[in-house]
């Protein structure tokens, strides 16, 4: 059976639109934006307990996509408001785990509303948004490069470099105690130039379904150049 094209594309970032009375969370893919959920602010924004709970609910909503390996978070709010800075201050004060180590996420901010799909569509087309995506992606890929180099120099972890080996690991069922796939990394050039795109998109979709952290990386970035040296695709596995 012919595999259908993966029309969403690959994950790029998460967009959090913070408004006075709610927040909307969007998954930004290379082809489309998909809304994850809308989080209401239950009470008055000036009530610090209410605001704390609201921000914590946003963080909890972000946890699943962070576990999937998407580490670029863009926060949007209307002009002349402090909603974005209030949220980022909360992250700094209460979630140090997002600011260092393998869990590190890159937060950036943009002015504008992102509650409804037409607003998000307009926002994502702006040059500022595109520049933010590039900037956050660069910081994120630097973190991935650090992880990759550590794994390459650690005997306890497994690194696979061929598509067939990667498929065998991700598509197969691994016994407890055996290496489990953790990261699937490939360059955008490897994906674009492949004659087996349907095969790759299927692999990426199954990897994401299995909670393997899947990232498509700009081939011109430092991490992308390193991946290209390794063949363009790498799977990192570890024994739990």
The strand pair at 158-160 and 72-77 is best described as unpaired
CATH 3.40.50.720 fits 11-125, yes or no: no
Give per-residue pLDDT as tens, 36-87.
Answer: 999 999 999 999 999 999 999 999 999 988 887 788 899 999 999 999 999 9
Contacts of 155 (CB under 8 A, 6+ apart): none
In the chain, where are the structural domains located? 11-125, 142-238
Q: At residue 171, does pLDDT exceed 80?
A: yes
Report, as an integer, the average pLDDT of 231-239: 89
End-to-end, the C-alpha distance of the chain in Å comes to 35
HSE value, Cβ hemisphere, 13 Å, CA-based, for 163: 16
Instruction: Write the pLDDT tens digit of every residue in 2-49.
Output: 444 446 677 788 999 999 999 999 999 877 899 999 999 999 999 999
**pLDDT of amino acid 3:** 43
- Residue 95's pLDDT is 94
Give this prediction's pTM.
0.72
* Of residues 40 and 210, more confidently modeled: 40
pLDDT tens digit sequence for 100-141: 766 788 899 999 999 999 999 999 999 999 888 888 777 777
User: Degrees (nearest 5) of the Cα angle 92, 82, 29?
Assistant: 70
Does CATH place domain 142-238 in 3.30.1330.30?
yes
Position of tokens 């150049």? Answer: 225
**Residue 7: what pLDDT?**
65
- DSSP-derived 3-state class of residue 65: helix
């Amino acid at each position: 059976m012919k595999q259908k094209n993966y029309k969403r594309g690959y994950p790029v970032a998460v967009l959090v639109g913070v408004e006075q009375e709610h927040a909307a969370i969007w998954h930004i893919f290379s082809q489309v934006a998909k809304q994850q959920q809308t989080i209401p602010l239950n009470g008055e924004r000036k009530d610090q307990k209410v605001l704390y709970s609201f921000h914590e609910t946003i963080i909890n909503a972000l946890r699943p996509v962070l576990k999937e390996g998407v580490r670029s978070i863009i926060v949007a709010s209307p002009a002349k408001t402090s909603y974005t800075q209030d949220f980022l201050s909360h992250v700094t004060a209460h979630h140090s785990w997002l600011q260092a180590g393998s869990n590190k996420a890159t937060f950036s901010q943009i002015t504008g509303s992102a509650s409804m799909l037409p607003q998000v569509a307009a926002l994502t087309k702006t040059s500022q948004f595109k520049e933010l995506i590039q900037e956050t992606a660069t910081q994120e890929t630097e973190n991935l490069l650090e992880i990759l180099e550590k794994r390459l120099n650690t005997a306890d972890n497994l690194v696979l470099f061929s598509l067939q080996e990667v498929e065998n690991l991700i598509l197969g069922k691994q016994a407890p105690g055996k290496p489990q796939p953790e990261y699937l990394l490939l360059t955008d050039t490897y994906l674009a130039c492949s004659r087996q795109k349907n095969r790759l998109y299927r692999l990426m979709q199954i990897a994401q379904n299995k909670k393997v952290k899947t990232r498509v990386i700009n081939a011109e970035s430092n991490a992308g150049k390193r991946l290209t040296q390794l063949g363009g695709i790498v799977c990192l596995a570890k024994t739990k």
